[in-house]
Structure 1
Amino acid sequence: MTFLNGFVLIDAPASALNNARDAMDAQYDNEVGVKMIQVSRTERYPYVSAQAFRYWLRDTLAQNPEWLAHTAPVFREAKVAYTDANPMQYWDDDLFGYMRAEGKKTSAAEGRKGDASREGATDIKQSVTRTSPFRVGTLVSLAPVNIVKDFGTMSRSGPNMQDGDPVPHSHQFYRAVFKGQLSLDLGRAGLFTYTSKAGNQNLDEVRRRLAEDGGLEHLPAQKAYRLPRAERAERVAALVAGLAELRGGAKQALHYTDVSPAAVLLVVTKGGNNPLQYVVGSDDRGQLRVNVEALKETVRAWKDQFCSPLYVGWTAGFHDAERARLRAALEELRADGMDFVLDHPRTVLRRLADDLRGDAGAAWLD
């Protein structure tokens, strides 16, 4: 089984991409804070939760008409929500996972019967769950930063405005470069198991029958059904291409931030470990730094596990000196037999999507 592993960098020059419920060191009752990790009294690392990042990607993918046509409906039941949980039909159920456990009470069953939004929903005989083949890490600032507070007021003028003091408010923001790890289990994309282990009971009796009727390949030894390779490739390629278009984030009206990757490093490996995580960090001044020695040592140590070239996307204008150092190190590694692709992140991710659909992807997905 193979995995697509690596990380993305997102440049946030003056941003508040993921807000906290309670603001640290708040000076006002209505102050909006940012999510951060406090390591010491003075060191604070802003972060974007993995849930927020996954939401950005889901929302971005929904702009793709083909992906949208294969997006699962969501059903609500009191304080519980779940998708249709049909990974054969819905791409997001396949790649992002699901848990569908309907309420057992009579009132819940009656409510489902009267819910018009469930028309056409897949029946269910028992609870089904699927762990996500696509995994992400929390996006964390490469270095500790100063959290800035911006003071503002609601003080518009107009005939309906009453006399009196303006209404003050405050919010926090920062300047940071975020790094987040990514991993996509290529072998599990389009592969649906029916074992009783938690997270692996992807299919119940109803869904197994749908798999049989749909002509999916049955793998009795694995207790699984698998989609044809071309269908699996199209799904993972659409997800990878979606990363290139990534959009989202809080406070965009005040701190518009392009959250599409400023840089991305990815490689297909034989296992789920992420050998590239130490290639980019920060120096003593908190500035982004490419650790070329870590890159060389990593490639030499893990080269026997690599199944693809290194896919390196790095936007021109984003820490150009580090991009040049990275290119020089990659050229040295090429002389040792390690190939790479270096270009704009959007170009590289789309190239990777094409490779997943092509002959190379055929080997990675088997």
Structure 2
Amino acid sequence: MSYLVGKIALDVTAGAPNNGLGEDNVARVKQLRVGRDVHPYVSAQAFRRWLRDSLPADEPVSPVIRSGSGQKQQAYTQGRPDLYLDDDIFGYMVAVKGDKAKTCQRDTVLATGTLVSVAPRHPDRDFGTMSRGFAAGENPVLHGHEFYSAELAGDVLLDLPRIGVFETDGTGLKVALPEPAAKEARENGAEDVSFRGASALRLGIVERRRRAALLLRTLSAVRGGAKQSMHYGDRTPALVLLAPVKGGINPFTRVFGARMGRTEFDASVLRAEIEAWADELDGQALLGWAPGFLGTQRDHVRSELADLVAAGTLAVDHPRLLLNTLAGQIERGERDSWFEDQKG
């Protein structure tokens, strides 16, 4: 049993990838305050939407159902993780009053933290005008928006044993697949298993491998974000740190820090955490770092951790290469032990 845990970083240059509530005809980016410091951020919900939208065009996604009106509206997906990868990976809640055959819930398999600017960054404000088609002498309509440049970082955890495994008993909304959906899944080849104290259905290992590999490949090429017409920019991870950990603890949350107003990756923190959690690591730690991100720090960190690389404890390469290599290993069955959970 293993969880892939670690860190994702985005490199935002003059961008506004996730906006909050507007005010006085100004579109504001999402931001939080720590004391007097301002930190722009991208919400976990937004990043997960980017991932979902970045799935291959031929990968079916769960249809969204909308009901009700006004403040009593509901929107939910089909709630069929056996049929749709996005329901499996991202989770759902379907709460249909009086219909137990449709009421179900699945906690996320992919846990994503908020991507927050490591160093404080105060957003700048730009403004534009709309006067196209106005008569001579008419005043233009003014509008404004915020944007910023920053390195954003957030935690990530992928619960590998839960991919393709769906609870069929429990209490309340904890059932992931109620009848008759469970019956249909069995007819399509899902097997009954005991999983973390509950009865569950499990898809075949080939499909489970495929879903994990597809998610990793999608992460390597994620696209999306707001204001692309004015602030288009790369949204693929500039840095990805992933390691297989047996217990689901993420020891790598503090590898980034701010010093003198600049974002820094602390190689000594990564080394210390790898050594402290050596008994829980279930394979090589992967540090995917795009050339040019954080200037010359990539070369410095590679030099500082050269002994770990030589020992096979750590691999350092481009994020896309490392993620695609790991996806290939999973597809070939070389990491099947990561999908096996503790009994009971």
Question: Superposition pairs for residues 219-230 of structure 1, below 5 Å?
Answer: 219-220=193-194, 222-230=198-206
**CA-to-aligned-CA distance 1:259-307 (integer Å, 9 cap, x gap):** 1111111111102211111112221x22121212111110000111111
**Candidates 60, 65, 68, aligned match of 1:75:** 65
Q: Which segment drifts farther, 172-181 or 162-171?
A: 162-171
**Candidates 19, 26, 29, aligned match of 1:34:** 29
- Is residue 2:167 matched to residue 1:193? yes
Counterpart for residue 180 of structure 2: 206
TM-score by length of 1: 0.86
Question: Superposition pairs for residues 1-366 of structure 1, below 5 Å?
Answer: 1-23=1-23, 29-41=24-36, 43-61=37-55, 64-67=56-59, 69=60, 71-78=61-68, 79-104=73-98, 125-156=101-132, 158=133, 161-197=135-171, 200-220=174-194, 222-283=198-259, 285-335=260-310, 337-366=311-340
**CA-to-aligned-CA distance 1:313-342 (integer Å, 9 cap, x gap):** 11111124210122123322245x452222
Q: Which segment drifts farther, 29-38 or 210-219?
A: 210-219
Distance 1:102 1:198 in 2: 12
Extract unaligned runs of 5+ from structure 1: 24-28, 110-123
**CA-to-aligned-CA distance 1:216-270 (integer Å, 9 cap, x gap):** 2211464111111111010011011101111111111111111111111111110
Distance 1:35 1:274 in 2: 25
Q: Which segment drifts farther, 249-258 or 124-133?
A: 124-133
**CA-to-aligned-CA distance 1:36-61 (integer Å, 9 cap, x gap):** 101223x1000111111111111111
The Cα shift of 1:133 comes to 0.7
Distance 1:305 1:66 in 2: 37
Partner secondary structure for residue 236 of structure 2: coil
**CA-to-aligned-CA distance 1:176-209 (integer Å, 9 cap, x gap):** 1100111110010011112224553012121221
Q: Which segment drifts farther, 186-195 or 215-224?
A: 215-224
Distance 2:278 2:58 in 1: 36
TM-score by length of 2: 0.92
Partner secondary structure for residue 174 of structure 1: strand
Partner secondary structure for residue 257 of structure 2: strand
Counting matched residue pairs gives 334
The Cα shift of 1:131 comes to 0.5
The Cα shift of 1:3 comes to 0.7
Q: Relative to 1, partners in 2 of residues 1:330 and 1:87: Cα closer, same or farther, differing over 3 Å?
A: same
Q: Which segment drifts farther, 7-16 or 221-230?
A: 221-230
The Cα shift of 1:162 comes to 4.6
Extract unaligned runs of 5+ from structure 2: none
Partner secondary structure for residue 208 of structure 1: helix
**CA-to-aligned-CA distance 1:113-150 (integer Å, 9 cap, x gap):** xxxxxxxxxxx725111111111001100111122111
Contact 1:279 1:294 in 2 (8 A): yes
Q: CA RMSD in A?
A: 1.8
Q: Relative to 1, partners in 2 of residues 1:126 and 1:153: Cα closer, same or farther, differing over 3 Å?
A: closer
Q: Relative to 1, partners in 2 of residues 1:361 and 1:199: Cα closer, same or farther, differing over 3 Å?
A: farther
Distance 1:57 1:212 in 2: 29
Partner secondary structure for residue 34 of structure 1: coil
Larger Rg: 1
Contact 1:5 1:182 in 2 (8 A): yes
Partner secondary structure for residue 305 of structure 1: coil
Distance 2:172 2:299 in 1: 47
Matched letter for residue 170 of structure 1: G
Contact 1:311 1:342 in 2 (8 A): yes
Distance 1:338 1:329 in 2: 15
Contact 2:309 2:315 in 1 (8 A): no
Q: Relative to 1, partners in 2 of residues 1:58 and 1:126: Cα closer, same or farther, differing over 3 Å?
A: closer
Contact 1:6 1:183 in 2 (8 A): yes
The Cα shift of 1:95 comes to 0.9
Distance 2:54 2:102 in 1: 32
Matched letter for residue 274 of structure 2: V
Distance 1:151 1:205 in 2: 54
Distance 1:203 1:148 in 2: 47
Distance 1:30 1:225 in 2: 51
